[in-house]
Amino acid sequence: MDRSSPDFIKPMLAESGEAFDSDKHLFEIKWDGIRAMAYVEQGVYRLMSRRGVDVTERYPEFEPLRSLPSGCVLDGEIVVLDADGKPSFRSVLSRAQARTKLRFRHLSQATAADFIAFDLLYLDYNELIRKPLRDRRESMLERIAPKLGEHMAVSDGVIGPGRSFFDESLARDLEGIVAKRLNSRYFPGKRSDAWIKVRKSSSALCAILGFVDKGDDFESLIIATEDDGELHCVGRVGTGFDAALREPLNDLLRDGRCDAPLVPCDEKGTWVMPGLYCVVRYLECTRDGIFREPVFEKLITD
């Protein structure tokens, strides 16, 4: 019988939540990297991004994946660790943005990436997706972990003390944790409470400079916050708005339109007069001063 691996499986997604304790969950580090699936078949491997893009050539250091059992599919994260052993999103992003084979090879030596496997979806061409996480992980530890080469590992975790595990991740300046229900199956392409991500974040009071208009509604707000006594644009926020807020906020934005932003801004949009503020939660501030993964929390009017 001719057997082959799936062409592509959409990764399962996690819901957001707060830290908790549970002997029915596995708590793992939330790796600050780039999601990827590894497909191994007859001594050939493929690395596919979350959106189904083949990124195999970008990471020549993962060549040892060829030696894994044929017909296996691993879900994991590509990370680049800094000198302190912490994942650096900036570094892994530079790897993802490389464009030539020569650059791929150079970066694999200068800033080597690691593949952290945290789930096993197929083994020996047999589907494991419907099996509970507990069983999938046991198979991964028994059949996959011993064969992983340099720059590859199976994600570690604990069962039970989720709160203290989260506190420890914050003390180590990591992004957070993911709680995974041990008896849950894998849900390709779906966001499920079987996986709950708990992340560190910061909040900032922001001035609303303007908005990106999509006709009868705004798509996102263009925001700025204070840094060293000056107001600087920190990008756009487009999530976190509930339906009840959108109508009055649209009215405020459109009634306050003006010709230019309060401070210089590279974003393109419709500008509003000073007086509208909001609180925004974000993961971190990039090197360029832009909020990463911002979420709108509440509106404040002057």
Per-residue pLDDT tens over the stretch 164-198 = 999 999 999 898 999 999 999 999 999 999 999 99
Last residue within a domain, chosen from 126, 154, 182: 154
Structure tokens at 205: 């009071």
**CB within 8 Å of 138: residues ≥ 6 apart:** none
C-alpha to C-alpha distance for 43 and 61, rounded to whole angstroms: 16
Last residue within a domain, chosen from 125, 154, 183: 154
Mean predicted lDDT score pLDDT of the chain? 93
Mean of pLDDT values over 203-220: 94
The per-residue pLDDT for 302 is 61
The per-residue pLDDT for 1 is 43
Structure tokens at 13: 């997604």
Q: Give residue 68's domain range.
A: 33-154
Same domain (yes/no): 190, 180: yes
C-alpha to C-alpha distance for 133 and 164, rounded to whole angstroms: 22
Same domain (yes/no): 90, 55: yes
What digits encode the pLDDT tens for the residues 37-65?
Answer: 999 999 999 999 999 999 999 999 999 99
The per-residue pLDDT for 84 is 85
Same domain (yes/no): 37, 24: no
Chain-centroid distance of CA 293 in Å reads 9
Same domain (yes/no): 174, 207: no
Same domain (yes/no): 22, 171: yes
> How many domains are contained in the chain?
3
Count Cβ atoms within 10 A of the Cβ of residue 173 and give its class: 0-12 exposed, 13-18 middle, 19 or more buried.
exposed
Same domain (yes/no): 69, 132: yes
Same domain (yes/no): 131, 231: no
Q: How confident is the model at residue 2 (pLDDT cuts 50, 70, 90)?
A: low
Same domain (yes/no): 38, 149: yes
Q: Is the pTM of the predicted complex or chain greater than 0.85?
A: no
Hey, what amino acid is at 49?
A: S
Provide the b/e sequence for 127-156 (b: ≥16 CB within 10 Å).
Answer: ebbebbbeebbebbeeebeeebeebbebbe
The CATH number of residue 100's host domain is 3.30.470.30
Same domain (yes/no): 106, 184: no
Catalytic residue among 30, 101, 131, 298: 30
Per the annotation, the verdict on 180 as an active-site residue is no
Domain annotation covers residue 174 = yes
